[in-house]
Chain A
Amino acid sequence: MRLPFRKVFTRETMVNLLFVLPSLVLVGYFVYVLIGWNVVVSLTDWKGLAPSYNIVGFGQYVTLFQDPEFLTSLTNNLILILLFVPSSLALGLFLAILLDSKVRGEGVFRNIYLLPFSLSYVITATLWLWMYNPKEGVINTLLRTIGLGFLQPGWTTDPNIALACVVLAIVWQFSGYTMLIFSAGIKSIPESQVMAAEVDGATGLNLYRRVVVPQLKTPALSAFVVLMIFALKVFDFIYVLTGGGPAGYATYVVPLLMFRNTFRMDKYANGAAMATLLFLLALVIVVPYLYLSSRREKD
């Protein structure tokens, strides 16, 4: 329903515009203008408290890729993604299938598994901080109790496994979410298909392997996107749990580095460059996904 240009400014249209104007302005500014602004900053040499807008081109980006701190952070981010995303998806799928095969108490278990996801990352990090405590934390205490006291790893104080510890804690938090998504996907399969499979002879594992799981591609994809984006921008969690990690940089990730450089060391342009990179990475993941799902909506 396209109005001819002449009629565009009728009273109705004005009212319509008025409706969305505040949101458009707010979002438009706070998202897009600010992104642009950030990009501009990343192209300057702003260091220190007073803003400076001398454009120096891509210098900041070059510096970044020569900065060992940044490279470590970037690597950590990637390791995080590689560890976190698949295990979260797998665990979620496992839980969803488990939940689907039990008939009783499904609602209760579902709520239990989802609880961590609704908690703030700060809380979860704090809890796990306590759990990981080498001297008094739960895990080591339990290990001692069952006689494996000699193990007692340093967990987050051990640079080698600190990152893995972080991943474990995040997987704990997110498993409920992926389970929920997969659960919804499983439920959307019509009962008649399950019955048909029963008649055909596909029961138990076969049923899931050949009939249910292949149909979970869509939920898997959207969970994947959400998880990826989170892994890219994870900040709260690490800030609280390790503050960057033992031995300096064991668990540093790009968002954390960006925060430190910008707000603690006043290296604004530097931070902006990192932020822009993060944004671009996010775009690479999100835009194809949005495009795919809007096309699917048309079906």
Chain B
Amino acid sequence: MASITIKNLTKKYGKTVAVKDLNLQIEDKEFFVFLGPSGCGKTTTLFAIAGLIKIDSGEIWIGDELVTSAEQGIHKPPHEREISMVFQDYAIYPHMTVFNNIAFPLQIRNTDKHEIEGSVKKTAELLGISQLLDRKPRQLSGGQRQRVALGRAIVRRPKVFLMDEPLANLDAKLRCQTRTELKKLQLELKVTTIYVTHDQVEAMTMADRIMVQKDGVTEQIGTPDELYNHPSNLFVAGFIGSPEMNFMDCTLFEEKKELYLDAKEFRIFLPAKMPSELRSYIGAELIMGIRPEDIYENICAEGTVQENAIRMTIDLIEPVGPYLLLHLKAGRIPLVATVKDTKAKASQEVVMAMDLGKIHIFSKETTKAII
């Protein structure tokens, strides 16, 4: 059983708090992603789990075992934790052949030679690098080196895989390919995996669950679907999804028992079924969020007045292959919408509507009220 439990983990570097009071539970066999911008603490957390750094307070459990406890002074060294790690620059040993690189963890533990040979060969086959076993790292391409690093991590059959932005140094096309392969590999090997990245696309496509961090603080933990459709705060909403969610300042008012959001340039009347807590925000300053794909051209019968239709001008149309990116202006508010097609042209006026079921409302203090 290789679940991971973290309680109240804090790590400081001098005055800077790298990770602040982290609490996390990762399930066995889960593909879990630490996501966030540079310096948010994800790599620090990873290294703490690996045992490569000491922590200031908190506990870390791998399976049933307490491997780190700041308060009790427990710190199990990395190689006794049954974990293995893939580094961003692969960290393979340049003076050893591919075979020896992969075999290294087994050699250190004085494993029987025949066993080593068998394991290494099987691992190499799994990763498709059997023909490279005699080569030295400098003769390999980036993608091949990465597989060697993976091989070294897999060969020991650890309880947990830790990966620190392993795809960051690959070119875009290889990255996509490898992403899929990594995910398939994990499913096949059924090993708990923690994967660190700053790329939200990677996170969204690969993860069972994601933890988003910013400046050492946990912003949200959830499945990709939860993070995408129900972001709990402004940061997560803006970080996940490309192109980014549109944000507008607005205020909540009530008129004749109907709630509407006033964004100065336009008003959005909210549907009737809204949570009652929303009423407590009447008059408060809020931020409204809507994703580009939830804004669409309001083509309806002539003469019909749609309440929530907004007149906008097209600034720029960017063709992105499968869809069009419309850069719009509603008065002075910029908006981005993705549509399949449009007959309108730049500088023209269009009428757009929003999918009211997909509106997100945030208090200006980064909490969220509904959807």
Q: Verify whether A and B have any Cβ pair under 8 Å.
A: yes
Indicate if the CB atoms of B79 and A199 lie closer than 8 Å. yes
Q: Can you list, as one digit per residue, whether each of A154-184 has a CB less than 8 Å from chain B (1) or not (0)? A: 0000000000000000000000000000000
Chain B interface size band reads 20 to 34
Report the separation of the CA atoms of residues A215 and B91 in the bound assembly, to the nearest whole angstrom: 13
Q: Can you list, as one digit per residue, whether each of A199-229 has a CB less than 8 Å from chain B (1) or not (0)? A: 1111100100011001101000000000000
Interface residues in B71-92 by Cβ distance below 8 A to A read: 77-79, 83-85, 87-92
Q: Smallest distance from the beta carbon of A217 to chain B beta carbons, Å?
A: 8
Indicate if the CB atoms of B104 and A195 lie closer than 8 Å. no
Indicate if the CB atoms of A196 and B109 lie closer than 8 Å. no
Indicate if the CB atoms of B77 and A215 lie closer than 8 Å. no
Judge whether B334 is part of the interface by a CB distance below 8 angstroms: no
Q: Smallest distance from the beta carbon of B157 to chain A beta carbons, Å?
A: 14
Report the separation of the CA atoms of residues A195 and B50 in the bound assembly, to the nearest whole angstrom: 10
Q: Smallest distance from the beta carbon of B85 to chain A beta carbons, Å?
A: 5
Report the separation of the CA atoms of residues A196 and B162 in the bound assembly, to the nearest whole angstrom: 11
Chain A interface size band reads 10 to 19
Question: Which residues from chain B contact A199 at a C-beta distance below 8 Å?
Answer: 50, 52, 78-79, 83-85, 105
Report the separation of the CA atoms of residues A217 and B136 in the bound assembly, to the nearest whole angstrom: 16
Question: Which residues from chain A contact B47 at a C-beta distance below 8 Å?
Answer: 195
Most buried by B among A193, A201, A210: A201
Report the separation of the CA atoms of residues A211 and B104 in the bound assembly, to the nearest whole angstrom: 10
Indicate if the CB atoms of A200 and B105 lie closer than 8 Å. yes
Indicate if the CB atoms of A200 and B79 lie closer than 8 Å. yes
A192-B91 contact given A198-B79, A199-B52, A200-B79, CB 8 Å threshold: yes
A203-B88 contact given A198-B52, A211-B93, A214-B95, CB 8 Å threshold: no
Question: Which residues from chain B contact A206 at a C-beta distance below 8 Å?
Answer: 108
Q: Smallest distance from the beta carbon of A279 to chain B beta carbons, Å?
A: 35
Judge whether B29 is part of the interface by a CB distance below 8 angstroms: no
Most buried by A among B78, B96, B109, B152: B78
Judge whether A190 is part of the interface by a CB distance below 8 angstroms: yes
Q: Can you list, as one digit per residue, whether each of A52-91 has a CB less than 8 Å from chain B (1) or not (0)? A: 0000000000000000000000000000000000000000
A201-B108 contact given A195-B85, A195-B87, A214-B95, CB 8 Å threshold: yes
Q: Smallest distance from the beta carbon of A189 to chain B beta carbons, Å?
A: 9
Indicate if the CB atoms of A201 and B79 lie closer than 8 Å. yes
Judge whether B94 is part of the interface by a CB distance below 8 angstroms: yes
Indicate if the CB atoms of B77 and A198 lie closer than 8 Å. yes
Q: Which residue of B lies closest to A217 (CB)?
A: B95
Question: Which residues from chain A contact B104 at a C-beta distance below 8 Å?
Answer: 200, 202, 210
Q: Smallest distance from the beta carbon of A201 to chain B beta carbons, Å?
A: 3
A192-B88 contact given A199-B50, A200-B108, CB 8 Å threshold: yes
Question: Which residues from chain B contact A190 at a C-beta distance below 8 Å?
Answer: 89, 91
Indicate if the CB atoms of A203 and B79 lie closer than 8 Å. yes
Interface residues in B93-131 by Cβ distance below 8 A to A read: 93-96, 104-105, 108-109
Question: Which residues from chain B contact A196 at a C-beta distance below 8 Å?
Answer: 85, 87, 91-92, 152
Question: Which residues from chain A contact B138 at a C-beta distance below 8 Å?
Answer: 299
Question: Which residues from chain A contact B89 at a C-beta distance below 8 Å?
Answer: 190, 192
Report the separation of the CA atoms of residues A201 and B79 in the bound assembly, to the nearest whole angstrom: 5
Report the separation of the CA atoms of residues A201 and B108 in the bound assembly, to the nearest whole angstrom: 6
Q: Smallest distance from the beta carbon of B47 to chain A beta carbons, Å?
A: 8
Q: Can you list, as one digit per residue, whether each of B42-76 has a CB less than 8 Å from chain A (1) or not (0)? A: 00000100101000000000000000000000000
Q: Smallest distance from the beta carbon of A103 to chain B beta carbons, Å?
A: 14
Q: Which residue of A lies closest to B53 (CB)?
A: A195
Indicate if the CB atoms of B79 and A195 lie closer than 8 Å. no
Report the separation of the CA atoms of residues A203 and B109 in the bound assembly, to the nearest whole angstrom: 12
Question: Which residues from chain B contact A202 at a C-beta distance below 8 Å?
Answer: 79, 104, 108
> Other CB < 8 Å A-B pairs besides A198-B78, A199-B83, A199-B84, 16 of them?
A192-B88, A193-B91, A195-B47, A195-B87, A196-B85, A198-B77, A199-B78, A200-B84, A200-B104, A200-B105, A201-B109, A203-B79, A206-B108, A210-B104, A214-B95, A299-B138
- Residues of chain B whose beta carbon lies under 8 Å from any beta carbon of chain A: 47, 50, 52, 77-79, 83-85, 87-96, 104-105, 108-109, 138, 152
List 10 interface pairs A-B (beta carbons < 8 Å), by A numbering: A193-B93, A195-B47, A195-B52, A195-B85, A199-B79, A199-B85, A200-B105, A202-B108, A211-B93, A215-B94
The 6 A-B residue pairs with the shortest CB-CB distance, nearest first, are: A201-B79, A192-B91, A196-B91, A200-B105, A201-B108, A214-B95
